[in-house]
A and B are shown apart, each in its own frame.
Chain A
Amino acid sequence: MTDTLAQYSLIAIYSAMAVYLIAFVTFTLDLAKRSAAATAVPVPAVKAEAAGSGGTAVLEREAPPAPVAPKRNQRFERVAYALTIVAWLLHVAGTVLRGVAAHRVPWANMFEFTLTASAIVVGVFVVVQIWLNLRYLGAYITGFALIVLGFGTVGFYVDVVPLPPALQSYWLIIHVFVASLGTAFFALGAGLSVVQLLQARREAGRFPSAKFLDTLPDSTRLENLAYRVNLVGFVFWTFTLIAGAIWAEHAWGRYWGWDTKEVWTFIIWTIFAGYIHARATRGWRGSRSAWLAIIGFVAVMFNFTVVNLFFKGLHAYSGL
């Protein structure tokens, strides 16, 4: 029974990957289309927001609505977004089946964690569209999910096994789930920061060919979006750190012991604390703080892959 369900789970994940692939291609075509549209209908140059000149406060005027060419053909975008939702539903189904097969939450080893974390990344992307149109990140998000699932199924797959005593705790549910939530928001934030860096260069007149950027928000608006997304990620990360410490106290007898995974979680926390300070430091707003957010997310990925697989430590639950 367990094996059959695990098989179904895997089939659902493979199907999700196929649909993600199509969605990724369609999103990329949409970006190409955006370039064409931007060429066809010259849009007014995006005005860089007057930087807060003196004054006592940050004047974060909402940027004017993105200067999208009035009749941009959005068919590709719509199709790609719909495909992303389909792929995501398959992805969630596969993840849930895995949990049902194992009779526990589906994030107790590295393979399961890749399923859950990437499902949350895409889920946050899909749900955020209700408030914010971030579909221009579609290619990044679907591409990311595809790569993560690819590594997960090919490199990290393990059969369903019972939980070792050290993982038998309700903290597994809380600590790891919140860590995945934090990862999801950092992933989205890093995507926005990358687009922000591109847009800042474009605004400085250095990317004459990347015309699709004209259909996206200006760099200040992108920065504000990235900041808000990363803030949410930071709160989740702080909680992960504390929940992890409480669990470590229960299981290992100390709340903090500079285990390699603890070290890297701390490093990531410090980088994002630095990012938040950088945003409040004169001369560090803009591209510099964007780089910090990207470095922070790279550290998150490093923590998940290299630290899990190659560093010696107590968090040896990859199952590999």
Chain B
Amino acid sequence: MSRPSDHIDSPAPPPKGSGINQPKLGPVGYLRFFWRQLTSMRTALFLLLLLAVAAVPGSLFPQRSSDPNGVIDYFTKNPDSAPVLDKLQLFDVYTSVWFSAIYLLLFVSLIGCVIPRTTHHIQALRGRPPRTPAHLGRLSAFVEVEAPGVEAAAAIDSARGLLRRSGYRVELYQGPELSVSAERGYLRETGNLVFHTALIGILISVGVGSGFGYTGQKVLVEGQAFANVRLSYDSINPGRFFNEAALPPYRIRLDDFSATYEEKNLNALGQPIDFSAAVTTYQGEGPGHKSVIKVNEPLRIDGNDVYLLGNGYAPSITVRDPTGKVVFSDQVPFLAQDANLTSLGVIKVPDGLADQLGMQGFFYPTAAKLESGALTSNHPDLQNPVLSLRVYKGDLGIDGGIAKSVYSLDTSEMTSIAGDTAGVPALELRPGQTVDIPGGLGTVTFDNLDPGAKDLLHSVARFASLDVHHDPTQGWVLFFAICVVLGLLTSLFIPRRRVWVKAVETDAGLRLEYAGLARGDDPGLESAVTEIARKHSEQLGLRLAP
């Protein structure tokens, strides 16, 4: 067997102190020794368990890959320990040196185990069942039947036919006695090798996929479109071998975003039931194609998958100077802070007014007053929309050419003129309202997009945040995953067994011996051997001795 030497099916090692003097190992000898150690069952087991333990910290500490804001938060809360933990790569566990070392060693060990086993298995598939052992009675499953008056050759021939029909490979052997040797269940080892090889396949596919794939994020307000080029993304995470030419040329326009909320069930008022983004896609010169993206129904386009991962409101805000000239007019996406879509957004007006102007906005789709007097939202739909703006004037800090997030406002060089420390309350607007900016700087308007309607349900535009993914090996990963399951099923539940039938001539006539040997876990071996003996006896017209 080409299993590792400490596999339970391999011959037992000689007892310690058996007097064998090991020769001194040379460099090659040591290499061979380490290779044997690495590919042993014990090492594989140790690495497997180590991998399980090493994966734990990734669930205890926030990870940059899945929770970047959690990492920033952790650094703020634990300024002393966070840098140390970061040095130990505890915020990037699954790409860390130590985690990678464990799984790479594990896979080297796995490859070192799979290759010799595969060659051995191919030989076994080509070879014949082994010679019949001399003493069948010593095997675990053993049945004997007296068969007086039966010809040995005829008995063995019919046994051979019987075994062959039951899916065994058979071979006749003429030792002191005539016997048939049979083996079945080669698929067990095939399945086992498929399982392990498919795991290697998954690892390679994942590696290749992350190299050539990319993910990009884009926030689209209703009516807006974006073209699939690098610059139009809000953020993009390319793989190592990403090439901009790999982005397929298409355009997506968000026509309409609709959200449905529970209105009947009193236990779940306002809980979202459905989000749908109606989009038009344009590929090449052709006309647009309408489709709908939902949370569990991504849009598949040109090898890209487009997911609907978030949504919110984008209030339309217009700022005018004291003469009435428009200096800013835009639909500004506000980021949701809670389930009732209390949202936060920032408006920056760098030019056109006497001072640079910055506004921090809170948007409440269904505003209600808390006991403290502060506003809150108690429903995610637009039942009572209110926009509250804190206004600052001064230096926005964007003239230096350094990129700043559009979702945050640096007020360190600014003075508060409404809300915050200004002594003047924050500006409060409903759709369609216009108020003066304190200090005679101008006016700000919260535009109503649906002024003719009786209610305000469509007064504010919504945005959808789309994730665009490209993973060229995703299909391969799935293919190998299916191989893993199929290999696992065959390797665990198909029994591999050897069966022998021997015709022993005695003074009292012929005696038939049946014996079975399991290779691997095989709870049904004994009943299988008994069943063969019974069927064979039936064929020969014997009555099986009780």
Beta-carbon contact of B9 and A246 below 8 Å: no
Beta-carbon contact of B267 and A160 below 8 Å: yes
Beta-carbon contact of A228 and B523 below 8 Å: yes
Mark contacts of B193-208 with chain A using CB atoms, 8 A cut-off: 1 yes-contact digit, 0 otherwise. Answer: 0000000000000100
Question: Chain B contact residues: over half helix, strand or loop, or mixed?
Answer: mixed
A-B contact pairs, 8 of them (CB 8 A): A162-B271, A162-B273, A231-B492, A253-B467, A270-B55, A280-B8, A281-B7, A284-B45
**Residues 207-256 (chain B) with a chain A CB within 8 angstroms:** 215
CA distance A246 to B485 in the complex (A): 14
Q: Which residue from chain B places its CB closest to the CB of A164 in the assembled complex?
A: B272
Least CB distance from B470 to A in Å reads 11
Q: Which residue from chain B places its CB closest to the CB of A102 in the assembled complex?
A: B265
Q: Which of B59, B274, B478, B484 contacts A246 (CB 8 A)?
A: B478
**Stretch of A84-92, A193-201, A211-219, A256-264 lying at the B interface:** A256-264
CA distance A55 to B471 in the complex (A): 49
CA distance A79 to B506 in the complex (A): 55
The interface size of chain B toward A, counting residues with CB under 8 Å, comes to 73
Mark contacts of B131-160 with chain A using CB atoms, 8 A cut-off: 1 yes-contact digit, 0 otherwise. Answer: 000000001110000000000000000000
Beta-carbon contact of A60 and B268 below 8 Å: no
Q: Which residue from chain A places its CB closest to the CB of B307 in the assembled complex?
A: A253
Beta-carbon contact of A277 and B41 below 8 Å: yes
**Stretch of A35-43, A112-120, A137-145, A235-243 lying at the B interface:** A235-243
CA distance A292 to B92 in the complex (A): 28
CA distance A303 to B231 in the complex (A): 41
Beta-carbon contact of A312 and B523 below 8 Å: no
Q: Measuring CB to CB, which residues of chain A are less than 8 angstroms from any residue of chain B? A: 2, 52-62, 159-166, 168-169, 171, 224, 227-228, 231, 234-235, 238-239, 242, 245-246, 249-260, 263-264, 266-267, 270-271, 273-274, 277-285, 292, 307, 311-314
Residues of B with C-beta under 8 A to A278: 45
CA distance A166 to B519 in the complex (A): 46
Q: Is B518 interfacial (CB 8 A cutoff)?
A: yes
Residues of B with C-beta under 8 A to A55: 11
Q: Which of A52, A163, A165, A249 contacts B275 (CB 8 A)?
A: A165
Beta-carbon contact of A56 and B52 below 8 Å: no
Q: Which residue from chain A places its CB closest to the CB of B467 in the assembled complex?
A: A253
10 extra interface residue pairs, beta carbon distance < 8 Å, beyond A166-B296, A255-B477? A227-B521, A234-B488, A249-B474, A257-B65, A259-B66, A270-B55, A273-B48, A277-B48, A281-B8, A282-B7
Q: Which residue from chain A places its CB closest to the CB of B260 in the assembled complex?
A: A165
Residues of A with C-beta under 8 A to B58: 258, 263
Residues of A with C-beta under 8 A to B485: 235, 238-239, 242
CA distance A250 to B474 in the complex (A): 12
Residues of A with C-beta under 8 A to B298: 250, 253
Q: Contacts A60-B518, A162-B265, A312-B67 known; A53 to B49 CB distance under 8 Å?
A: no
Beta-carbon contact of B522 and A242 below 8 Å: no
Beta-carbon contact of A253 and B262 below 8 Å: no
Closest 4 CB pairs of A and B: A161-B268, A159-B267, A253-B307, A165-B295
Q: Contacts A239-B485, A283-B6, A307-B59 known; A58 to B518 CB distance under 8 Å?
A: yes
Q: Is B84 interfacial (CB 8 A cutoff)?
A: no
Beta-carbon contact of B518 and A59 below 8 Å: yes
Q: Is B508 interfacial (CB 8 A cutoff)?
A: no
Most buried by A among B206, B493, B521: B521
CA distance A238 to B482 in the complex (A): 10
Q: Which residue from chain A places its CB closest to the CB of B525 in the assembled complex?
A: A60
Q: Which residue from chain A places its CB closest to the CB of B70 in the assembled complex?
A: A312
Q: Which residue from chain B places its CB closest to the CB of A168 in the assembled complex?
A: B296
Q: Which of B41, B309, B493 contacts A281 (CB 8 A)?
A: B41
Residues of B with C-beta under 8 A to A56: 1, 9-11, 519
Residues of A with C-beta under 8 A to B469: 253-254
CA distance A60 to B271 in the complex (A): 57
Beta-carbon contact of B59 and A311 below 8 Å: yes
Least CB distance from B269 to A in Å reads 10
Q: Is B63 interfacial (CB 8 A cutoff)?
A: yes
Q: Measuring CB to CB, which residues of chain B are less than 8 angstroms from any residue of chain A? A: 1, 6-12, 41-42, 44-45, 48-49, 51-52, 55-56, 58-59, 62-63, 65-67, 70, 93-94, 139-141, 206, 215, 262, 265, 267-268, 271-275, 294-298, 305, 307, 309, 467, 469, 471, 474, 477-478, 481-482, 484-485, 488-489, 492-493, 517-523, 525-526
CA distance A313 to B60 in the complex (A): 11
CA distance A55 to B1 in the complex (A): 11
Residues of B with C-beta under 8 A to A273: 48
Q: Contacts A165-B296, A242-B484, A273-B48 known; A60 to B140 CB distance under 8 Å?
A: yes
CA distance A140 to B273 in the complex (A): 41
Beta-carbon contact of A267 and B48 below 8 Å: no
Beta-carbon contact of A263 and B265 below 8 Å: no
Least CB distance from A143 to B in Å reads 28
Beta-carbon contact of A165 and B274 below 8 Å: yes
Residues of A with C-beta under 8 A to B526: 61-62
Q: Which of B9, B294, B522 contacts A280 (CB 8 A)?
A: B9
Least CB distance from B156 to A in Å reads 24
Beta-carbon contact of B7 and A267 below 8 Å: no
Beta-carbon contact of B45 and A235 below 8 Å: no
Residues of A with C-beta under 8 A to B272: 164-165
CA distance A313 to B478 in the complex (A): 24
Q: Which residue from chain A places its CB closest to the CB of B522 in the assembled complex?
A: A60
Q: Contacts A231-B492, A307-B59 known; A258 to B274 CB distance under 8 Å?
A: no
Least CB distance from B533 to A in Å reads 16
Q: Which residue from chain B places its CB closest to the CB of A52 in the assembled complex?
A: B8
Least CB distance from A224 to B in Å reads 7
Residues of A with C-beta under 8 A to B305: 249, 253
Beta-carbon contact of A165 and B273 below 8 Å: yes
CA distance A314 to B65 in the complex (A): 13
Residues of A with C-beta under 8 A to B94: 258
Beta-carbon contact of B67 and A274 below 8 Å: no
Residues of A with C-beta under 8 A to B65: 257-258
Q: Contacts A161-B267, A274-B52 known; A255 to B295 CB distance under 8 Å?
A: no
Beta-carbon contact of B9 and A58 below 8 Å: yes
Beta-carbon contact of A274 and B523 below 8 Å: no
Q: Which of A52, A270, A279, A311 contacts B51 (CB 8 A)?
A: A270
Q: Contacts A53-B12, A162-B262, A239-B485 known; A282 to B41 CB distance under 8 Å?
A: yes
Beta-carbon contact of A274 and B520 below 8 Å: no
Least CB distance from A315 to B in Å reads 11
Least CB distance from B163 to A in Å reads 19
Residues of A with C-beta under 8 A to B62: 312
CA distance A270 to B46 in the complex (A): 11
Beta-carbon contact of B63 and A270 below 8 Å: no
Beta-carbon contact of B6 and A238 below 8 Å: no
CA distance A54 to B45 in the complex (A): 22
Least CB distance from B480 to A in Å reads 10
Least CB distance from B37 to A in Å reads 14
Beta-carbon contact of A162 and B467 below 8 Å: no
Least CB distance from A50 to B in Å reads 10
Beta-carbon contact of B481 and A58 below 8 Å: no
Most buried by A among B52, B55, B298, B474: B52
Residues of B with C-beta under 8 A to A252: 307, 309
